[in-house]
Chains A and B, each alone.
Chain A
Amino acid sequence: MINLLRYLKNFKFSIGVSLLLIAIRALAELYLPTLSADMVNIGIVNRDIEYILHVGSWMLIITAAGIAAFILAGYLSSKATAGFARILREEVFSRVESFSLQEFDRFGTASLINRTTNDITQVQNFLVFALRMIVMVPILGAGCIVLAFSRDAILALVFVVVTPVILAVIFFFMRQGLPLFKIMQEKLDRLNLIVREGLTGIRVIRAFNRDSYEKQRFERANFEYAATGLRVNRLMEAMTPLITLIMNLSIIAIVWFGGIRIDLGFTNVGDLMAFIQYAMQVLYSFIAISRMFLIIPRATASAARINEVLNTKPQILDGPAEKQPQDQKTRGHVEFKDVTFRYPEAKRPVLRNISFRAGPGEVTAIIGSTGSGKSTLVHLMLRLYDVDSGSILIDGVDVREMPQKSLREKISFVPQKTILFSGTILDNICYGREDAGSEEVLRAAEIAQAMEFISEMKDGFSSPVAQGGKNLSGGQRQRLAIARALLKKADIYIFDDSFSALDYATEARLRRALAQEMAGATLFIISQRINTVKNADRIIVLDKGRIAGIGTHEELMASCDIYREIVVSQLSEEETA
């Protein structure tokens, strides 16, 4: 938490002034009972109406000054806390944007979203609360105690008795309540899980007639959640009456002992009345403090999660600035030299001793079973991860020796999982090049076989794409992602299993168009389908992270067992003749 407060330093002045103003307001609040005591002790006792009016107008002035101070303080602190949250959010967001997949995977998307949104809101809420309370409450509490002792030190001993009792009560409820709240959250999570499973699996549940089984699961979870909720409520509801009771009893004690003190002549009625008001303030301070105990753990947990992001430095750093611009002929060359890569915390390398070359005008296909490292291989080319040993050269330069931006400008990529952004179809296609001319857009859509469905849509290229492209079918999404990659002018194009949602006819047309239109580029196609890869200039067969064979379809059929096995498995029962 303390760590994050460094982002407050731009607001030092506003915060300092607002704390001062809040202190002023606290003092004003304290002064009121004192004045009212004077009103009784001097005004009423002496029957001096003029004095009463005089003190009364002072009270009004002080009240007004208090509120003015507070409003100004509120203005300053609101701007400071909102500004703090803005800076923090920006820091976290830009940091995440700088992460390579290596750091990104460590947190996971959902967790990072949470850290950038909810966690920062938590910390901000705490700060708002802290600025309002942390100064106000101690000043009020301490001030009351000092004033109470100065009025009548003996009577003030009531505080000495009551304070530990109240603290013990608060401590007891925290101690009992907090674990229960945790259990309740777990039960709620369980309930959520069961309902969510029921929703996603609805067809299966109904097909298997397992409604009653699901109902039992739900009933049990629902019952447990309700039972825990009841326990929590019944426990926590006791806290209010108990604390109120203690307060009221201590007021009775003050009045009783105060009466004795008045009788003995040590104090007077006005002081006693002021005393009761001080007591109320002190007790209220305790409650405010106990609330702080509830907020602090959540805020610190959030702060820790935010710090974790901020303390994570991206491992992948830019190479030295631009080397000499490449001339036309040498662009699009890729070379893997004995590349080995292991995911952090993985036991075995996912890629081992990978070496190959690819050049412009060539189609390189990569085939292999899941987990054989196909996607990892192209991710390394994009330098989304760094290799452990060996090197990857693009146009003769190690990818670590150039800025990431210029590396990625050379490569256009369609990832395995299609990702679209909310906006229009056009926005999505132009994601890589906003300045593209309409002819180029049309051509990219044409090659990607996307024209047909786009033109059938009501608004054509301006049709909206929902978040994640949910309003499009899998095949449509894939074709848009391909069009997007094609529009970006690059030397190297990578299609990572990007045809899987297309039917064979569309895929065949797409591949034909690619071969014609992208003749000068370096193409990488990853697939599990023999059909997709068999016409490539070079097929790389990956098996458990190693290259099991490189060559054309015919060469591999002759020489590579694993390749043949894949071919047979896919065409086994067909007339392989």
Chain B
Amino acid sequence: MSKEGRQSAIKAMPVRLGGRIMLSAPGKKAKNFKGTIMRLLQYLRPHSFSLLIVFALAVCGTVFSILGPKILGRATTLFFNGMMDRLRGVPDAGIDFELVGKIMLLLTGIYILSEAFNYLGQFIMAGVVQKIVYTMREEVYQKLTRLPLKFFDTYTHGEILSRVTNDMDLIGSTLGQSLTHLISSIVTVAGVMAMMLIISPAMTLIALLTLPLWYLITTKITRYSQKMFVDQQRELGELNSHIEEAYGGHIIVKSFGNEEKVIQRFKEINERLYDAGWRALFISGIIMPLINFVNNMGYVLVCIVGAVFVIQGRIAIGDMQAFIQYSRNFKEPIIQFANVANIIQATIAAAERVFELLDEEEEKADSPHALTLFAPRGEVKFENVTFGYSADATLIKNMNIAVKAGQTVAIVGPTGAGKTTLVNLLMRFYEISGGRITIDGIDIREIKRGTLRGIFGMVLQDTWLFQGTIRDNIAYGKEGATDEEIRRAAAAARADHFIRTLPGGYDTVLNEEASNISQGQKQLLTIARAILADPAILILDEATSNVDTRTELLIQKAMADLMKGRTSFVIAHRLSTIKDADMILVMNEGEVVEKGTNAELLALNGFYAALHKSRFAVEEAI
């Protein structure tokens, strides 16, 4: 094991410890290799001075470490000559310890300097890398805040998350380790080659004889092993998704008595995984020994030829020793190249994914004249509004509605009828493709997004609470809310009572899934949040599932209070709400199919009438 090899062995450690084993991810090839590299370099530019120093240090450190064996060889030569002279009976023959001492001192100095340079370089580099990754991550996050909701509805959370963390970490560790490694490898190869040529061009030629063999091993076998790894990865992926499904559906597997079938399927995939797995293991396991074998052959050849040359007096014995060290040193970096090349491939692919995200189309910027302050009464109008999530599927066509301040609009329809569409349009999460939506006569596109969204309050069925105290979660509705305001909002939402029965009261910390309070209590908290925000227009979802009847009653009362005096869009589930509404929008399959008051729609005898009949016939009978 030469120095380079040892270094790479040690360097591999922190990476493994962090749990991020750097492997070239199969099948994740970059599409635009060059362009991505150029763009990545842009991030390095502000640090070019530091980087220059880092590179200079790496070069110095490597050069010094290359000088080592040659100087050490001089000491060996001195010993050998002294000994030979003594054997030949030369008078006063012996080792010149004064000279050896000087050589040793020189060596000690060189080694210390070399490692000091190496560490200093790494020290500076680590700082640069952390800064770059920090900035990039920040940039990605900023970008996320500017992306339209369409983006978040298209990609899974996992995909986005992995760009912010995994991809970024890979870029960081590559910049930090592979880059300097690459530089010192290049310098090592060049330097070692030079030293070998200085010692003996003929022996250098012999050492190079093993290169083709070596090339064959790294390219052919590596390619084969990559194929094996892809196979293994595929089977592993299949096995994992089978396990996920079987465990996720445990209750169904059990109640349908399908355990044996599931295990049978598992065995089939497991068998295939075993087959691909041992091959991948075997092939990857023999690459290094094979390379080692070729190296050893080179070593033996160099030994033989070197010994002969020493006898013929063409080189000194110390040089032979140095040459042996060099011939080993000079292949390790080349082996590393193959490794680094794989890592860089994967990194470029990761960088490309990050850049893709950075290039996503953003929300249209607010117009410079957009209103920043706006306290509307709450009059909402849709004028000839046309909208579809994609260009070829129009969901809303030329819709016209006028809602006066304080009125209630009930949105009715079967489940999955796309009621969130309305929320998306009102809050301008999506852009309409025709017509205009106005609030108090002002086009919502003429209002700053932030201001516009401040006009609305939202209480939806899927309550969103974050990890933090109950106080913080309620205060989310209003920056700088006082404790008294928070308590009053909670009381108005009928949440004060249950909050105070919790062991931590308002300071109770909700855990990640907010599973330490019930679904109904969560809904009460979101109502409190909306009350505190005091919006002019409300968007409510009446649906309450998994809520016990008493809490449901509380939620109803709190919602009714909240709606007083505000324009409200209610995704309605209760007959009374629908009947009392000033306007009913009937939606089906994402389209607004009918609109009007209860009486008007019943008279129309269409979709609503049919829905009404099946749904409320029983209720009305009571």
Contact = CB atoms under 8 A, between A and B. Distances in A.
Nearest to B293: A67
Interface string A177-203: 110010011001001110111111111
Given A209-B454, A263-B97, A32 B467 contact: no
Contacts of A249: 108, 111
Given A287-B10, A382-B255, A504-B614, A475 B115 contact: no
Contacts of B311: 43-44, 47, 49, 52
A229 B168 CA distance: 13
Contacts of A570: 549, 552
Contacts of A531: 618-619
A99 to B, nearest CB: 8
A489 to B, nearest CB: 12
A411 B256 CA distance: 8
B439 interface: no
B454 A203 contact: no
B273 A86 contact: yes
Interface in B344-398: none
B285 A132 contact: yes
A195 B164 contact: yes
A263 B111 contact: no
A260 B78 CA distance: 12
A269 interface: yes
A309 to B, nearest CB: 11
Nearest to A80: B278
Nearest to A125: B21
Given A63-B300, A85-B277, A245-B111, A500 B545 contact: yes
B550 A78 contact: no
Given A200-B464, A226-B133, A291 B13 contact: yes
B189 interface: no
A473 B415 contact: yes
Interface in A492-517: 500-506, 508-509
Interface in A323-354: none
B337 interface: no
Contact of A79 (B256, B258, B278, B423): B278
A78 to B, nearest CB: 4
Contacts of A238: 119, 122
A467 B133 CA distance: 34
A567 B621 CA distance: 13
Contacts of B273: 86
Among B239, B252, B574, the one with the most A-chain Cβ atoms within 10 Å of its Cβ is B252
Interface string B531-552: 0010000000000011111111
Contact of A475 (B126, B127, B415, B548): B415
A435 interface: no
A263 B115 contact: no
A241 B118 contact: yes
B620 interface: yes
Contacts of B293: 63-64, 66-67
Interface string B168-183: 0000100010000000
Nearest to B151: A202
B374 to A, nearest CB: 13
Interface residues of A, number: 174
Per DSSP, are chain A's interface residues mostly helix, strand or loop, or mixed? helix
A198 B245 contact: no
B274 A85 contact: yes
A278 interface: no
A138 interface: no
B516 interface: no
Contacts of A422: 241, 245
Interface stretch (B197-205, B260-268, B488-496): B260-268
Contact of A199 (B94, B119, B161, B165): B161
A575 B548 CA distance: 22
A242 B296 CA distance: 28
Contacts of B546: 370
Interface string A244-260: 11011101100110111
Contact of A63 (B149, B164, B296, B415): B296
B501 interface: no
Nearest to A297: B17
Interface stretch (A109-117, A355-363, A389-397, A437-445): A109-117
B315 to A, nearest CB: 11
A201 B78 CA distance: 75
Nearest to B413: A503
B141 A215 contact: yes
Given A85-B274, A199-B160, A576-B622, A98 B250 contact: no
Contacts, number: 439
A128 B477 CA distance: 55
Interface stretch (B37-45, B68-76, B401-409): B68-76
A150 interface: no
Interface in B514-561: 518-520, 529, 533, 545-553, 556
B550 A569 contact: yes
Interface in B117-156: 118-119, 122-123, 126-127, 129-131, 133-134, 137-138, 141-142, 144-145, 149, 152
A570 B176 CA distance: 63
Contacts of A272: 76, 79
Given A86-B270, A233-B126, A509-B614, A291 B9 contact: yes
A197 B282 contact: no
Contacts of A149: none
Contacts of A98: 259
A565 interface: yes
B464 A81 contact: no
Contacts of A576: 622
A234 interface: yes
Contacts of A572: 553, 556
B243 A60 contact: no
Interface string B568-612: 000000111000000000000000000000000000000000110
Contacts of A229: 130, 133, 172
B303 A384 contact: no
B153 to A, nearest CB: 9
Interface in B1-52: 1, 3, 6-7, 9-14, 16-19
A566 B550 CA distance: 8
A109 B415 contact: no
Given A67-B293, A233-B130, A475 B416 contact: yes
Interface stretch (A1-9, A89-97, A152-160, A518-526): A89-97
A206 B429 contact: yes
Contacts of B100: 256, 259
B476 A208 contact: yes
Contact of A258 (B1, B79, B94, B301): B79
A388 interface: no
B243 A269 contact: no
Given A39-B304, A74-B285, 5 more contacts: A79-B282, A94-B263, A197-B466, A371-B548, A468-B248
Across the A-B interface, give the 8 residue pairs with the lowest CB-CB distance, nearest first: A369-B548, A504-B615, A82-B278, A473-B416, A505-B614, A241-B115, A78-B282, A503-B414
21 contacts: A39-B303, A52-B307, A75-B282, A85-B277, A86-B271, A86-B277, A99-B250, A206-B449, A207-B457, A210-B476, A233-B122, A244-B7, A255-B72, A255-B104, A281-B1, A370-B518, A371-B548, A419-B248, A504-B614, A528-B547, A576-B622
